Structure formats: structure tokens, C-alpha cells
Amino acid sequence: MLTFEEAREMILARVSPLGTETVPLVEAAGRVLAGQVQSPWDLPPWDNSAMDGYAVRAGDCRGSATLRITGYMAAGGPDAPKVAPGCAVKIMTGSPVPEGCDAVVPFEDAEERDGNVHIPAQVKPRAHIRFRAEDIPAGTLVVPAGTVLRPPEVSMLASFGMGRVTVYRRPRVAVLSTGDELVELGEPLDHGKIVNSNSHALAAAVLEAGGIPTLLGIARDDRESLLAKLSEGMDADVLVTSAGVSAGDRDFVRDVLADLGVTPVFWKVLIKPGGPTAFGLKGGTAVFALPGNPVSSLITFEVFVRPAIRKMTGDARPLKPAVKATLAEGLKKKPGKTQFFRVTIESGEEGYVARTSGDQNTGILRTLVLADGIAVLPAERTAFAAGEKVDVLLLYR
Ligand code: AMP
Ligand code: MG
């Protein structure tokens, strides 16, 4: 059977970024840049004042000095004429530094009287000036391909006037729940029935991962129903199913996927929860058959489906980086499987502190609701002492 890491690598090796599209910059927020962006000009484009104050020639201000104010420059306003020795220009933040000046004295370090400015202390050349290209020279690679466009990247692209950008297409993800016991939200809950929560949970997880979910509804635990519903999912970039993938005698999902021409890549991974997870491929569709337990389906989505979706979105770093957290209490597990422990996270004096969020049984959804993350406990280990640091994947933040 595959280890957690092997299974995840097998998935990532088999999915690729999708096509690209060009969208308005604001719509590109949160998406992934498809082609690298280079700065078309210097930033800032000219030397400009970092403060509201007076543009001066530093050479005039070697000690206390009084200069005649010969001009005024507001941001975006007309340029002042060249500044002669002994003169100063009143200048607002962001205005180009007038010719002849090499320093700015902030208002708070000067005193203006009768058209003159008195500067009591020495002024250093270059003081309070933002120099041309000091942020970014023209031709610099400012955003590499594969970067998620966060507000700072949007700021960068907007600074260079880029109103439309080319990003990767978001993967279309079909979500199918399977099971004779399921009813849809709002339908009567006869004895033995449960509400199909997985479709909604997984659709929410798809959105969080950057995909576009489509709900295919419920397939029953029979081959005809599964065949009809699963074939609908084959148009999507990703098909995610829940339940019917264990060893129960009505667990037909894998059989029917094979009938539909899905090539199995793996079934069963050395993890807990989520052991019976299956993964396969058909053409451009990646198929994940997740276990039915609401906790198992969300955790296997997080550790297997989410990285695949991130890679398809073009994200050059599809795996969420784990954070190190100190265990507040000892934990025990059986050897042989990677175990995902639902934990709460607090900020302690020495970084994150992890504590179990309660009952770790796969049937307990409450402790996933309470969890801030999942601690990834390595397969071979069995006991983790209080004070030990473990890897935690923070969830949904
Ligand atoms: P299975 O994988 O079919 O053995 O299902 C495991 C458990 O998950 C059973 O208790 C199911 O009732 C439950 N389950 C399966 N599908 C769903 C679903 N769509 N929503 C909520 N619970 C489900
Ligand atoms: Mg079932």
C-alpha cells in the first residue's frame, strides 16, 4: 500500500496547469499569473519627495540657513523652474524633485516666515528623496509565472498600468455524493436516512481551493445510477465522489469508474482517516473517490484534492506549507499509517501551540469544526510527547 507522501506525489505528477485566459486585473485577484511580468518602466519613474516640506540644495544648508522660497510643487502639478543657489521650493509628497535640488527638508524641521524658510540644522544630500528606480528598475522580473496574485502583486501590476492580465483557468470540479441513505437538504428525513452534507462541504472546499464546483447530486448504490452520474462528471477537470469506495458489498464506485474507462492510479493509502481513497485518470479528468465519512472526505480533500486543484490553477507552490506547532499534550497512535489529528492552534510565547480539538473518531464532525488545523503525525511514530514540535496544516485560512 502507498504511503501518504507517495500517494500525494503520484497525484501531483499526473495533473498540470490548465489553459489560460485574460481577465480584468481586479478579477485576477486570487488567481495565478500565467506569464511572467517585467517592469516596463522605472519605479518610481523620477526622483520625488518622500515628505511634505522644502526642496533645497544640501550645499546651501551646511549649518543653519535661510533660503528664499521661489516655487511651489504639488503632487501631479506643474514643475517648478530650476532652483538657484540660496533658494528653496515648497514641495508636497510625491512631487518630482525640482532641478537643482538634492534634498528635502520636512515641514517639521523648518520654519517659514515672510517668503523665506529657516532651516536650523545641517541637511544631508539625498535626504527625504525617493530616487528614480530605487524600487524597481525597468526590465526587472517583478512577478514570476505561477505566482498567486495577492493584493501586493495586484498593486505591482496596477503600478505598471496593466489593466488586464493573463491567468490560468480555474479548474471545473464536479462533486458527486453516493449512497442509498442520502437525502437532499430540505427533503424529509425518514428513519435510516441522513442529509447529503458531503456535496456541500466538498463544494465549499473546492471554492476555497480555487476551483469552480458543480454539484451532480446523489448517485444511488447501484451500477446504473452510478454509471449515469459518474459519466456526467467526465466533462469536468476534476471529479470528486464521496462514499461507496470501501470494501462494503454495495461499494461499486471503483468498478463503475473502471467501466467508464477511468485508469486507476491507486486505491488505499496508509493514512488515517481516509484510507480507502482512490485516484484515477480519464483523459483530462482527474478522478478522486473519497471515503464517505464527512470528516474523512474533507481531510482527504485537503491533503490530496486541494494540492491537485492548486497545481491545475497554475500555482507553482501547490502544497500548503506546514507550520511547526508545539504539542500541549502527549499524543499516541498506532504505527504504520500517517495520522491526521484535528487540533486547535494558539499563539504561545514560543510560536504555535497545538492541542487536540477532542474526539478523533472519524464519525465526529464536531472536532473538525473546532479544529484550526490538522497535525500530520508520521506513519512510523507511535508516541508524541508534550512539548514536541509537529507539522500542522492550517485549515481554511
Ligand atoms: P461509506 O463510505 O459509503 O461506507 O460511508 C461512510 C459513512 O459516511 C456512512 O456513515 C455514510 O452514511 C456517511 N456518508 C456517506 N455519504 C455521505 C454524504 N454525502 N453526506 C453525509 N454523510 C455521508
Ligand atoms: Mg455507503
Pocket test for ligand 1, best of 177, 190, 194 (most atoms within 8 A of CB): 194
Query: Mean per-residue pLDDT for 35-56?
Result: 97
Whether the bond between 44 and the residue before it is cis, its omega within 30 degrees of 0, is yes
Q: Using the atom order of ligand 1, give the atom closest to the CA of residue 243.
A: 2
Q: What are phi and psi of 223, to 5 degrees?
A: -65, -40
Closest by CA to 233, choosing from 259, 215, 251, is 215
Is-contact 270 337, C-beta < 8 A? Answer: yes
**What predicted TM-score, i.e. pTM, was given to this entire model?**
0.94
H/E segment holding residue 112 = strand 111-113
Rounded CA-CA distance 177/220 in Å is 9
**Tally of CB atoms within 10 A around 229:** 21
Rounded to a whole number, what is the largest CA-CA distance in the chain?
96
* Ligand 1 pocket list (CB less than 6 A): 177, 179, 181-182, 194, 196-198, 242-244, 246, 248, 291-294
Q: What is the pLDDT of residues 131-187, one digit of tens each?
A: 999 999 999 999 999 999 999 999 999 999 999 999 999 999 999 999 999 999 999
Sign for the pseudo-dihedral over CA of 327, 332, 333, 336: positive
Q: What is the pLDDT of residues 9-33, one digit of tens each?
A: 999 999 999 999 999 999 999 999 9
Residue nearest to atom 23 of ligand 1 (CA): 292
**C-alpha grid cell, residue 121:** 540644522
Rounded CA-CA distance 385/42 in Å is 54
**Ligand 2 mean position, distance from CA 4 (Å):** 24
**Ligand 2 mean position, distance from CA 197 (Å):** 14
Q: What is the pLDDT of residues 339-362, one digit of tens each?
A: 999 999 999 999 999 999 999 999
Pocket test for ligand 1, best of 182, 190, 218, 251 (most atoms within 8 A of CB): 182
**pLDDT band for position 397 (cuts 50, 70, 90):** confident
Query: Mean per-residue pLDDT for 288-296?
Result: 98
